Structure formats: C-alpha cells, structure tokens
Structure 1
Amino acid sequence: MTSAPSSKSISSSSWRHRAEHARDLGYELALRELKIRYKRSVLGILWSLLNPLSQIAILTFLFRSVVDLKVPHYAAFVFVGVLVWTWFSGAITTAPLAITSNPDLVRRPGFPVVVLPLVTIASNGVHFVLALPVMLAVILLDGGRLGVSLVAIPGVMAVQFLLTAGLAYIVAALHVRFRDTQHLVTMVTMLAFYATPVFYSSIMVPEQYRLLHDANPIAVLLDAYRRILIEGAWPSAAALGGLTLASCCVLISGILLFKRMSINFAEEI
C-alpha cells in the first residue's frame, strides 16, 4: 500500500510551482514591456545600444580631448561606467511606476504583484546584456586585458540585481501611497550620477569625500567590473562580499515593506 504524500512534500511542490509560474510570468511581462517600448520604431531595440554609445562618445571626447583626465584606457573605462549605470538608473527610475501603471494586473485575483518591480530590472538588464559584446570589443581595441577573471562577471551582475531589486521594491511600494516618489527618485538618481565614478576615476575623489565614496554601492560595483574587464584582475573579495551582504539586507527589507504595503495596493491605485 502506497503512503499518502506528506504535507511537507506537497507544500514544497506547491512553492516550486508558484516560483516557476512567477518566473515565466516575469519573462512574459518583460518581453511585453520591450515590445511596447519599441513598437513602431524603425531601429527597435538597437536604440538600447545607440543611446549609451552616443553618451560614451561625448564623454570620451570631452575627457580625453578637451579636459584630459589621464585615465588609462578611457574609452573602455567610461563604457563600463555608462553601461553599468544605465542598467541601474533605468531600472530605479522606472520602478516607482511598476505598480501604479499596471492597475488591471494588480486588481486581478491571485496575480503575484511581487514580480512587477523585477520586470523593470529585467527589461533594462536586457539592454545591458545586449551591449556586453560591444563593450568587450571596445575594451580589447582600447588595450584592456581580459583574463580568466571574466568568469566573475555573472556574480557581479547578480549582486547588482540584488541591490537594484531591493531598492526597486521600496520605491515601487512607496510610490503607490506617495506619488512624489518618482520625482524624488529621478532627482536623486541624477545627483548620484555625479557622485559616482562613472566618467572619472575613484582615485580622483578628494580625501574628505572618500568615506562618502566608499559608502556608494555603485562605486563598489564599478570598481569590480573595471578590475575584471579592463585590468583582467579579480575584484576585491572583501568589498564585493560586504556589498553582497548589504544588498541581501536591502532586498529582504524591500520585500517585507512591499509585502506589508501590497495589502492595500488595489484600493490605493
């Protein structure tokens, strides 16, 4: 006689099914967002490359030909900075609208609203992934050194995803109740661009601002990416490990806040 499946195994199977459903749903929503964004566009998703490339070209001209910052391999240096920053800022500035711009989905019974902030990160992450081959080509042409440390790139990307997801959950939840959140996030992100070593080197930061710089999580990410991609070295284990721990804390806090506030999403939007 066969024994009935335990409640534990049933619960595990149910959780796995829900996780797979949420993953597939997130994939479809991210694909839908990309299709809507580039609908009736002649170049389509190529704009995801042209926009950062034009910014990289201007920054390279300014800080190599007009005001020389004397940063080695500057084209590769700024390419990494712009690409990483574009993924982060694009996801964070659109995350506040993740809930408020999808009222029909939020009000649908049983819909996992927890996937919506992740969709903004995934859709912007597609641009990052598509630009990676171009970035690697620029790095090689500009004299950068690619080594075995390249295998660490997915790990650094995962840390960036964790950090961005935590922040995305926070701003998405807050924007449902406080509609100024989107404008505040856009302003803070713009100011943070200049406080982050996207187009200048970390060694140029004056000593009195060093603590502020070291507390900037994107500065830590940029240093890790550049060490791997341009120097062919391994990132600082201590710095990246600390950022991973902090990112996990931000993600857990973000999910808890999101879950608590999501009870009233349907009424508040």
Structure 2
Amino acid sequence: MTKYLMYFSTFKKYYYLLTLLVKKDIKKKYKGSFLGILWSLFNPLLNMIVLTIVFSTVFKHNISHYPVYLLCGNLLFSFFSLSTTASMKSVINSAGLIKKIYVPKYMFTLAPIISNFVFFTISLLVLIILIIATKAPITIYILYSPVYLLLLLAFSCGVSLILATITVFFRDIEHIYGVLITALLYASAIFYPENIIPDRFRYILTFNPMYYFIKGFRNAVYEGVPIDLYNLLICCILAAISLIIGAKVFEKCQDKFILYI
C-alpha cells in the first residue's frame, strides 16, 4: 500500500508537467495549419466519406446507416493507432530532458495518449452530427458508450507503456508495429459486417482486443441495445491486464533507459 501511495504522490507532484506536455503536443500537431484544431473534425469526416464511397457499394445491403457503422469503428481504431504509435518513441524523443533532470519518465509516454484522446473526443462531434444527419436511431443506451471510451483509454495507456519500453532497446519495433497495426485494422470488422466472415475464420476476431472495444461502442451508439456484460467484462480485463503489465514492464526497465537513449 505504501508503494502505491508513493506512486500517487509522485504523480500528483509532477501532474503540472503532464499538463504542459499535453498542451505542447496539442499545439504542435496543427502548428502552422490554417484550420488548426478543426482538422480533428475534418480528418475523420473526409476519411469517412472516402471509405463510404469505396465500401458502401459492397455492403449497402448488409449494413443500414453504413456511414455511422463505419465511423463508430474507425474513430476508435484511429485513436488507438495514433496514440500508441506516437507513444512508441516518447522516451527516445525526450532523451535530452531525461538526461538533465529527474522526472517520472512515464509522463512523456502518457502525454501523447492524452493529447490524442482530446482530439478523439473532438472528432466524436462528427459522429453525433452524422447520426442526426442520416436520421440513424438514437436510444438511451448511448449513455453507456463513454464506459468503452475510458476502457479503451486505459488499454491504450498500457500498450503504449510496453511499446515505449521495447522501443528504447529495440528500435525496429517501430516498423514491425506498423505492419501489426495494419493487420489489426482489417481484423476489427470496421469496414465490413462480422457476419460475412466464415465460421471457421471467426476466431480471428476473438483474438483481436480492438474488436471488443469497437463492438461494445457500436452496441451502445449504433445498435442501441442493452449493455453486453460479457463483452464489458472482457474489455475490463483487457484494460486491467494491459495497464498492469505496461506499468510493471516500464517500471522494471526505466532505470536502464539512460544507457540506451
């Protein structure tokens, strides 16, 4: 218990640094851009339009309100992909500061995740506008959708801590992860309905953690059905395991970072 109180005290002490790092990431992302943070709205909208044109002709008879279906999955996956990819080199990119003064190194990894979560929450406005514009049904069950967003945030933090640690010692992981994230994208039933997958290949979805977060969020926003407790339990377990392993791996290896950055 004393150990966890110490962690909390350290986090509280350096919380201001985390807010500064997040603000820096937010300002840097669209620095020099004419539209600035509005790109957080236009990017998902433009991507959705392109993907809808490409895939809706194939699945228009299988999925009603296809743009909403597509955006529900694509927004969540984009957040996970962007935040974890940005966090991979967070320790390496902060080498100059880490070598000069002591600060909790995990702050540098959490900052890009939180900044991307800010952009992600802004982009959800596009989803709300799209639901209204397409007259897609809205039910009371949309109220539990934030639960899946917070669980995805926790899961992303854990994965990012692991990736940031591995990248310090093994720089090639950046290129390997690029291939892996592409495979996850096409194995998350984002562009297509999962029922078109033959039964003998359906297990591929069940081994993809992103599938559960996307499915839970779609159930709340798109399907408008009561919460699936089994799916929620899996998401909670994935988030908890990811955070625990990520924190343990990062804590165990962080003293060696200085030798490799």
Is structure 2 residue 221 aligned with structure 1 residue 239?
no
Task: Give the 3-state SS of the residue equivalent to 1:107 in structure 2.
Answer: helix
Amino acid paired to 1:102:
S
Distance 1:215 1:47 in 2: 33
1:69–1:200 contact (8 Å) kept in structure 2: no
Measured after TM superposition, the shift of residue 144 of structure 1 is 2.3
Task: Give the 3-state SS of the residue equivalent to 2:135 in structure 1.
Answer: coil
Q: Deviations over 1:139-181 (max 9, x none)?
A: 1222322222222122111110111111101110000010101
Distance 2:58 2:85 in 1: 31
Is structure 2 residue 96 aligned with structure 1 residue 97?
no
Distance 2:216 2:65 in 1: 16
Task: Give the 3-state SS of the residue equivalent to 1:129 in structure 2.
Answer: helix
1:34–1:123 contact (8 Å) kept in structure 2: yes
Distance 1:138 1:224 in 2: 19
Which position in structure 2 is the counterpart of 1:168?
160
TM-score, L = length of structure 2: 0.92
Which position in structure 2 is the counterpart of 1:23?
15
Task: Give the 3-state SS of the residue equivalent to 1:127 in structure 2.
Answer: helix
2:142–2:221 contact (8 Å) kept in structure 1: yes
Measured after TM superposition, the shift of residue 67 of structure 1 is 5.9
Question: Alpha carbon RMSD of aligned pairs, Å?
Answer: 2.1
Which position in structure 2 is the counterpart of 1:7?
none
Task: Give the 3-state SS of the residue equivalent to 1:149 in structure 2.
Answer: helix
Measured after TM superposition, the shift of residue 201 of structure 1 is 1.5
Distance 1:42 1:253 in 2: 41
Which position in structure 1 is the counterpart of 2:178?
186
Which position in structure 1 is the counterpart of 2:214?
222
Measured after TM superposition, the shift of residue 231 of structure 1 is 2.3
1:225–1:235 contact (8 Å) kept in structure 2: no
Measured after TM superposition, the shift of residue 86 of structure 1 is 0.8
How do residues 127-138 of structure 1 correspond to structure 2 at under 5 angstroms? Answer: 127-138=119-130
2:157–2:243 contact (8 Å) kept in structure 1: yes
Q: Deviations over 1:108-129 (max 9, x none)?
A: 4330111222112111111110
Task: Give the 3-state SS of the residue equivalent to 1:233 in structure 2.
Answer: coil
Distance 1:152 1:204 in 2: 28
Task: Give the 3-state SS of the residue equivalent to 1:230 in structure 2.
Answer: helix
Which position in structure 1 is the counterpart of 2:188?
196
How do residues 40-189 of structure 1 correspond to structure 2 at under 5 angstroms? Answer: 40-65=32-57, 68=60, 70-189=62-181
Structure 1 pair 74/103, CA: closer, same or farther in 2 (3 Å)?
Answer: same
Task: Give the 3-state SS of the residue equivalent to 2:192 in structure 1.
Answer: coil
Measured after TM superposition, the shift of residue 71 of structure 1 is 0.8
* Runs (5+) with no aligned partner, structure 1: 1-9
Which position in structure 2 is the counterpart of 1:267?
259
Q: Deviations over 1:1-22 (max 9, x none)?
A: xxxxxxxxx9998655433234
Structure 1 pair 21/142, CA: closer, same or farther in 2 (3 Å)?
Answer: farther
Distance 1:207 1:94 in 2: 36
Distance 1:188 1:16 in 2: 34
Distance 1:13 1:116 in 2: 21
Higher radius of gyration, 1 or 2: 1
Amino acid paired to 1:218:
M
